[in-house]
Amino acid sequence: MRSALAEVQVDADGREVQAPFDDMQRAMTGLMELTYGEAELPNPPELPHEFTTKWLHEDDDPLDIRVMKDPIILASGYSVDQFYHQWSASQNICPVTDRPLSHSISFPNDLLRDMIAAWRLDNNSLRSSSSTVKTLPVAPSEEQIGDILQKLSEHSTLQEEGLHEMLHLSKITKGEQPCLRKWPVLIPILIDLKKNWKSTWTHKLEELRLTVILNLSVHRSNKEILAGAMQLPDALKKITDKLPRLGGCSSPSVKVASIVTNLSEFEDFRKRILDIGGMEMLGNLLKIEDVVVRKESVAAICGLCTDEEGKAHAQSCHVTDLLVECLTITDEALVLLDCLQKDPYAVDKLSDKAVELVNIIMADQATGLVTPKALYSAISLVHEIVQQDVSKMETVKNLKDFMERLHELSSGTLPMQTMLKLEKIMSILSEMSPATARQVQS
């Protein structure tokens, strides 16, 4: 399996890679045989280095602590852990080759994730029955919830213990427990927790509280109840406003944005969060020089801009200008920039990203490195750039290759609006560089 993955990574530039995939299929079959007891288990099991991450997760499970949680494929063709890559010093450098990436868009490596899942299942069978990992039943008893509620009403030490118990419960049940429909009293208690203990409230307690709310917002039933909680939008804004005073890392800001993203599918929640200044709150998060905070904030803003009211709020809060100033080329950022109105100043600033936008359009979709959504948005943004000032495209060194790529795309199947914009780009570029256009046509 190791050698197969290495061959795939070496051949990521587009050469034939069927043989390595066949090798990986055989390796996957072997893993599944181990999982279901059809083959003898090696002792002790070895963690393939392709499954490892350089980022150690805080996880209750020591067997999983060095396993990739979310493998992604970079523009270089190499697979890395998404969480590690987001927190690395530079997202523009491939951590494997130490060379610049042609663009910063990444995509899930589903094959590798499945292989890691099989490895985990295999290792789960090795757990000792005397494991010391603390577990709670899937459905907690009235006594357990009562004990948690009592701890949350006590001093900060017991508060932290109660939050840890809720965190563990929400984690092992994927947000299903504690059921907020059965114990609705938990919502106001979580929201008002800081109000009763201002003097002893810490950054750690805030992060615990937000993590519990975020976990609960994943499960459908609890998500609907949280979205309907009238106090939650205002509480999230107050938390965000006060986070700088608590100090510490930016993780709570990421969690606030993620909660908004998860709940923004509900119209009532969107309206309430916009009414209390939620768009301005997310705009302020965009100003934080942290890649993960910005990425989650962009996703949250996308969730709020699903109707004209949300787009109007984004416009009044100058979200477009903020996006252009701190732009990281991601699907969400491209789509958001495409759907929001941009003044000439914003388009001029966007022109500085012309080379990255061209690289996205140049990428072969068959490699899985560029999604149609990113491609269509990139074409639309380049269209705005060339219409305002085509001279900005002079920074593109491979203009001939780019025009050939546009010609190739024009012969394919694209949405009508995208096709019209593509043809307009080709026409404007041909006027700017007729010699290049003749070379392409010949």
Last residue of a domain, one of 89, 124, 159: 124
| pLDDT digits 0-9 by tens, 360-409 | 898 865 555 567 888 899 999 999 999 999 998 988 888 999 999 999 99
Do residues 398 and 439 both lie within one domain?
yes
Residues 6+ apart with CB under 8 A from 24: 1, 4, 5, 8, 111, 115
Dist. CA 406–CA 383, nearest whole Å: 12
| 348 located within any domain | no
* 79 and 71 Cβ atoms separated by less than 8 Å: yes
A 10 A CB-CB count for 118 gives 20
User: Residue 266: its pLDDT value, please?
Assistant: 95
Do residues 171 and 259 both lie within one domain?
no
Instruction: Return the structure tokens found at 379.
Output: 């074409």
Dist. CA 256–CA 325, nearest whole Å: 22
Query: CATH number of the domain that 118 lies in?
Result: 3.30.40.10
Residues 6+ apart with CB under 8 A from 316: 279
3-state secondary structure the chain: CHHHHHHHHHCCCCCCCHHHHHHHHHHHHHHHHHHCCCCCCCCCCCCCHHHECCCCCCCCCHHHCCECCCEEECCCCCEEEHHHHHHCCCCCECCCCCCECCCCCCEECHHHHHHHHHHHHHHHCCCCCCCCCCCCCCCCCHHHHHHHHHHHCCCHHHHHHHHHHHHHHHHHCCCCCCCCCCCCCHHHHHHCHHHHCHHHCCHHHHHHHHHHHHHHCCCHHHHHHHHCCCCHHHHHHHHHHHHHHHCCCCHHHHHHHHHHHHHCCCHHHHHHHHHCCHHHHHHHHHCCCCHHHHHHHHHHHHHHCCCHHHHHHHHHCCHHHHHHHCCCCCHHHHHHHHHCCCCHHHHHHHHHHHHHHHHHHHCCHHHCCCCHHHHHHHHHHHHHHHHHHHHHHHHCCCHHHHHHHHHHHHCCCCCHHHHHHHHHHHHHHHHHCHHHHHHHHC
Do residues 324 and 359 both lie within one domain?
no
| 421 located within any domain | yes
Do residues 161 and 117 both lie within one domain?
no
Do residues 114 and 8 both lie within one domain?
yes
| 347 located within any domain | no
Last residue of a domain, one of 312, 341, 370: 341
Do residues 95 and 192 both lie within one domain?
no
User: Residue 279: its pLDDT value, please?
Assistant: 96
| 19 located within any domain | yes
Do residues 183 and 149 both lie within one domain?
yes
User: Residue 109: its pLDDT value, please?
Assistant: 75
User: Residue 246: its pLDDT value, please?
Assistant: 72
Do residues 46 and 113 both lie within one domain?
yes
| 129 located within any domain | no
Do residues 272 and 330 both lie within one domain?
yes
Which backbone phi and psi does 37 adopt, to 5 degrees? 75, 20
> Which residues of the chain, if any, have pLDDT below 50?
1-17, 31-42, 44, 54-65, 89, 125-137
Do residues 33 and 57 both lie within one domain?
yes
User: Residue 417: its pLDDT value, please?
Assistant: 93
* Residue 158 φ/ψ region, left for φ over 0, alpha for ψ in the -120 to 50 degree band, beta for the rest: alpha
Which backbone phi and psi does 107 adopt, to 5 degrees? -140, 150
- Its domain, for residue 196, covers 141-222
User: Residue 173: its pLDDT value, please?
Assistant: 84
| 108 located within any domain | yes
Dist. CA 442–CA 438, nearest whole Å: 6
How many separate domains does the chain show? Answer: 4
Do residues 66 and 44 both lie within one domain?
yes
| 134 located within any domain | no
Do residues 173 and 279 both lie within one domain?
no
| pLDDT digits 0-9 by tens, 122-136 | 665 444 333 444 444
Query: CATH number of the domain that 258 lies in?
Result: 1.25.10.10
| 132 located within any domain | no
User: For the whole prediction, is pTM greater than 0.85?
Assistant: no
Last residue of a domain, one of 341, 371, 391: 341
Residues 6+ apart with CB under 8 A from 286: 294, 297, 298, 301, 319, 322, 323, 326
